Amino acid sequence: MGIKVLVVDDSSFFRRRVSEIVSQDPELEVVGTAVNGAEAVKLAAELKPQVITMDIEMPVMDGITAVKQIMASSPVPILMFSSLTHDGAKATLDALEAGALDFLPKRFEDIATNKDDAIALLQQRIKTLGRRRLFRPAVRPSTATAKPRTTSAQSSALTRTAASNKPLQPQVTDKPTSRSTAVARASGKKYKALLIGTSTGGPVALQKVLTQLPANYPHPILLIQHMPAAFTPTFATRLNSLCKIEVKEAQTGDQLRAGCAYLAPGGMQMMLERSGSFGRIKVLAGKPEMNYKPSVDITFASASKLFGGDVLAVVLTGMGADGREGARMLKSVGANIWAQDEASCVVYGMPQAVTNAGIATKSISIEQMAESILKETAHG
């Protein structure tokens, strides 16, 4: 029997189109459709689908409200469809915070230039969410109080290159393995920067980590989140409003500062280069054939050229293996690489890739990640 899917959208055309695409895959089965959020809540309880695809704007009950109610009563992985607009970005981030696990653009031409590729990607996303051995709602980020910000007067230096999937268990050990709630022991190593790469499940995971960092965090932070260009300005603004540190979408020429996090712009590549006594950011369009824009591999590799081993690089939840080769370059020059543990990942793909390759030195629950980072890097 295939993975059971409930398709929710007020457009009969879109419901039919998504249902056709889902049904084309022998591993997937459409068990029902709903025309609004209220129907979705009812059918989620009755049909017990393994994945729900959900529109955001619908009559009677919108998608965000439906996500909240479904996650409260009959939790199930939910894939949102979103418009690539400022309002669409805000609504999608709201849906992810409410408990949805992933999103795709509603226009198929925005998913991939080739129609067959777009269809394959949608099917793969649904299968990845549906195959999770154990589903539990994503960890909700703690609500952070905004900002009296004292920017630390430290700055540091920063430059260049780059290119799999599985389910849910919290542990911190010197060998990455399965389950514990311990905070990682500090190694005593000195650092110049914190790097974090992530994809599916990343918006909630990043918010969980970054809201726990103090305003005077002593290093610059580079964030690489797989996300469309229309979403990263909104996401950076949201993080900035919630965090004590400063968070901004990276721009060419940004000088790296302690206590500031720079989010790689969607559709671009974030590189690092020398500039006098300080490193600075260079944002490039990158090669069209690159699978990920932004790419964790490219930023990690760029950081290895400038910082050498004076870096803590963390790979959080995400589909695929982006970050593995960049992390390998960082480790070869002495950097410290951590991965999120399997149990707390939405998709254990990117962390699994660095763990299975023997690159990650620790596997840490998202619940313990911020405290572990602080313990490891808070000394200047």
Could you give the residue numbers annotated as active site?
Answer: 199, 226, 322
For residue 317, which amino acid is it?
Answer: T
